[in-house]
Amino acid sequence: MAGELPDVPRSATVRQRSFPFDRCIPLMAKVELVRLSKSYGGQPAVDGIDLEIPDGVLACLLGPSGCGKTTTLRLIAGFVEPDTGEVRVGGALLSSRERTLAPEFRRMSMVFQSYALWPHMTVAENVAYGLRLRGMPREEVRRRVDAILSVTRLSTLSGRYPGELSGGQQQRAALARALAVEPQTLLLDEPLSNLDANLREEMRFEIRRLHDAYRYTTVYVTHDQAEAMTAADLIVVMNGGRIEQAGSPQDIYQHPRSRFVASFIGGTNILEGEVLARDTVALDGLVLRCREGEAEGERAAVSIRHHEVQLSGEPFGAETNGAAGTVVRQIYLGAHRDYLVALAGGTQLRASAPMELDLAPGTSIYVYLPPENCRLLAA
């Protein structure tokens, strides 16, 4: 038996035997992380996170390099044991400090950044491998492999070896292999980061399309906000081992709750100033009334996206939220122009303006920051 299962380390099998819930992971796969922590050398990589991913949802863990995304994924997969907290799937406890179910018993598939396809096997053999390992009858394996290759648009390439495929095709083959075993949970770690920009954009839609076809609960790790916006039902923004905010792409974009989230998702200006009232901040000749958030303390920050800032060659004539400035630079981007504007005291802000507004550096300009687009955040 051991000879047929070379991937199963002995220690994992032993650990698994002592685990009481190993055979009863239910089909409904809600993934729950409860106060989950993992430190390396006294430094927390994952710092007490709580998260619930409902069954069938595609969640993106999004954040800068080193914020703990991969560690979180490896904790879910069972490659890493938590210092504290729990991983539960469908209510069953899979990881805790006391006991951890080995990865191969979790009904999870993981796709790595490097694809990790077997180079000596064709695409079809790679995809079939996990099914053969489970002792599935030959005919059933063929049927399942054909179906998956068709969905992943690899049917005509089924006889090729990984070395004969483009990056995108290898990525699709890795996905096909992960999907073939009908996992309960699909784990993807920066699956597109080795692809060039155009293909990356196409594959985002591809991953979403496959998710809609299979609806496995999916945890997708990326540092690319556009990827998360395209693919995810739920975006989980991480920073320094913690979750800053979790919500729908729209919620995260429109209602960021911290400076970090506001600036990580979408181009935004963060302007720090003196609090005049719970909804009003003053800085550099600007008095900003804000529609969202509440100021506490003496200083607060206002977040407004580049495309929400209005520019004009004429004064706006509004009582608040407008000021005069000077064009620092202007870049023509075809559909619009990207402006950098300096206010009287030197504060700079970026704005995207219609292509028709063409003002040279050094020209006087007027800015208006509509209150409904100004979000108050802690300083």
Give the β-pairing of 108-111 and 268-277. Answer: unpaired
Shortest CB 340 distance to ligand ADP, Å: 31
- Which of Mg ion, ligand ADP, none sits in contact with 218, Cβ below 5 to 8 A by type? none
Token look-up 């068709």 returns 150
Choose the contact partner of 205 out of ligand ADP, Mg ion, none; CB within 5 to 8 A by kind.
none
66 binds, among Mg ion, ligand ADP, none (CB under 5 to 8 A by kind): ligand ADP
Q: Are 201 and 167 in contact (CB under 8 A)?
A: no
Contact 37, 82 (CB under 8 A): yes
Determine whether 208 is exposed, middle or buried from the number of CB atoms within 10 Å of its CB (0-12, 13-18, 19+): middle
And the tokens for 338? 């990207």
Nearest approach, Cβ of residue 278 and ligand ADP (Å): 36
70 near ligand ADP (CB under 6 A): yes
Write the DSSP string, 70-102.
HHHHHHHHTSS--SEEEEEETTEEEE-SS-B--
According to CB under 6 A, which residues from 300 to 329 bind ligand ADP?
A: none
Question: What is the pattern of x (binds ligand ADP, CB under 6 A) and - over residues 40-69?
Answer: x----x-----------------x-xxxxx
Report the residue from 16, 37, 71, 303 that binds ligand ADP according to the rule CB under 6 A: 71
- Asked if residues 186 and 216 have their Cβ atoms less than 8 Å apart, the reply is yes
Q: Which does 85 bind (CB under 5 to 8 A by kind): ligand ADP, Mg ion, none?
A: none
Give the shortest CB-274-to-ligand ADP separation in angstroms. Answer: 36
Decide whether 70 or 95 has the Cβ nearer to Mg ion. Answer: 70
Q: Contact, 271 vs 301, CB < 8 A?
A: yes
Cβ pair 311, 367 in contact under 8 A: yes
Tell me how long the chain is.
Answer: 379
Of the pair 127, 234, the CB lying nearest ligand ADP is at 234
Residue with Cβ nearer ligand ADP (95 or 280) = 95
Q: Across the strands, what pairs with 111?
A: 188
* Burial of 370 from C-beta contacts in 10 A (0-12 / 13-18 / 19+): middle
Binders of ligand ADP in range 7-46 (CB under 6 A): 40, 45
- Total site size for ligand ADP, rule CB under 6 A: 10
Between 50 and 164, name the residue whose CB sits nearer to ligand ADP: 50
The pair of three-digit structure tokens given for residue 104, joined into one six-digit string: 């191969």
C-alpha dihedral sign at 255, 260, 261, 267: positive
Cβ distance to Mg ion smaller for residue 62 or 343: 62
The distance of closest approach from Cβ of residue 46 to Mg ion in the complex, given in angstroms and rounded to an integer, is 12
Report H helices in 26-166. Answer: 69-77, 123-133, 138-151
By beta-carbon proximity to Mg ion, the closer residue of 64 and 354 is 64
Q: Give which of ligand ADP, Mg ion, none residue 40 binds (C-beta under 5 to 8 Å, depending on kind).
A: ligand ADP
- Report how far residue 254's alpha carbon sits from residue 51's, in angstroms, rounded to the nearest whole number: 21
Using CB under 6 A as the binding rule, whether residue 187 contacts ligand ADP is answered as no
The encoded tokens of residue 94 equal 């899979």
Residues lying near Mg ion in the complex (CB under 5 A) are found at 70
Which residue's CB is nearer to Mg ion, number 63 or number 325? 63
Q: Tell me, rounded to whole angstroms, the distance of Cα 358 from its chain centroid.
A: 36
Q: Does 131 bind ligand ADP (CB under 6 A)?
A: no
Question: What is the closest distance, in whole angstroms, from the C-beta atom of residue 183 to ligand ADP in the complex?
Answer: 21
Closest CB to ligand ADP among residues 63, 168:
63
Bridge partners, residue 283, by sequence: 286
- Binding-site ranges for ligand ADP (CB under 6 A): 40, 45, 63, 65-71
